[in-house]
Structure formats: structure tokens, C-alpha cells
Structure 1
Amino acid sequence: MSASRKKDPCKANACRIQACLNENNYQEDKCADVLEAMRQCCLKWHKVSLCCSGIDLEKPYLTEASKGAGKSEK
């Protein structure tokens, strides 16, 4: 039972996603870096992280187009 009480290794990333989406009117493209960080966490921890359910491990969120997007806007 103690295994279920351990801290989820990807929970902080999930919280960052929620904050980013909230700050950006839920436009996923503005949060690609945060989404990709979550995917990377889930690639490592998907077997133990409940936060990873629903994350597509095969789909990179950062593409060449999204890497440059948003940086020139700031």
C-alpha cells in the first residue's frame, strides 16, 4: 500500500501544463515545451506515474516549427 503513497514523479510537470494552458487561453501550441517535458518524464516513468495516462508517448510536442514559435513574440 505504501507504493501508492509515493510522490508521482511527473506530477510537477502536470501542474506546469495546467498553469501554462491557463495562462495562454488553452492554446496547446503556446505550451509545447511544457508538454514535451511531460512527455519526456512519461517516457521514463509511465509505468508508475498516474499523471501519464492520456499522454501520447509517440507524439513529440516540439517540432522545428514550434521551437521557434512564441520566442519572437516576447
Structure 2
Amino acid sequence: MSDTRKDPCKANACRIQACLTKNHYQEDKCLDVLEAMRQCCLKWHKESLCCSGIDLEKTYLPDASKQKNPTGKSNK
């Protein structure tokens, strides 16, 4: 990779850091930003150094967890 080429997912990584800082590192407050990063990494993981720690299989949006429990009720 050329040093002159910008990392395609760097802006998303910066948004994650800003969101986490703003929300006192509560990941659940930044799910949309985390999912945007995952989507960027799905496309650019071979070119982006920012994607090195991203789990491409994990979705961050709540809709995915509803699919596991279709009733939407908690399992108490």
C-alpha cells in the first residue's frame, strides 16, 4: 500500500473514538457508528489498517439480536 493513499476507513475510526469519548465509553450508545465501521471494513479490510481489530462477522445493530429472539422479550 502506498503511503500517499489515505486509509478508506480512517474517518469511521475517528467517529467511533469521538462517539465513545462523548458517551463515556458506553459501546451501546455508538452501535450505529460501530456498524458503519464494520460495513466499511467489509469492503476495505484488505486496504485499511484501521480494520485490523474489527470482527467482520459481528453485527452491532439491535435488529440482529432480535432475530435470535423473535419475541423481543428478555430471557429471565
TM-score normalised over the length of structure 1: 0.82
Q: Using the alignment, how far apart are the partners of 2:58 and 2:64 within structure 1? A: 15
- Partner SS for 1:59: coil
Deviation at 1:43, TM superposition (A): 0.1
After TM superposition, list the pairs within 5 Å mapping 1:1-74 onto structure 2: 3-64=2-63
Q: Report the counterpart of residue 71 of structure 1 in structure 2.
A: none
Root-mean-square deviation (CA, aligned residues, Å) is 1.7
Unpaired runs of 5+ residues, structure 2, are 66-76
Rg bigger for which structure? Answer: 2
Unpaired runs of 5+ residues, structure 1, are 67-74
Percent of matched pairs sharing the same residue: 82
Q: Using the alignment, how far apart are the partners of 1:58 and 1:65 within structure 2? A: 12
Q: Using the alignment, how far apart are the partners of 2:42 and 2:61 within structure 1? A: 15
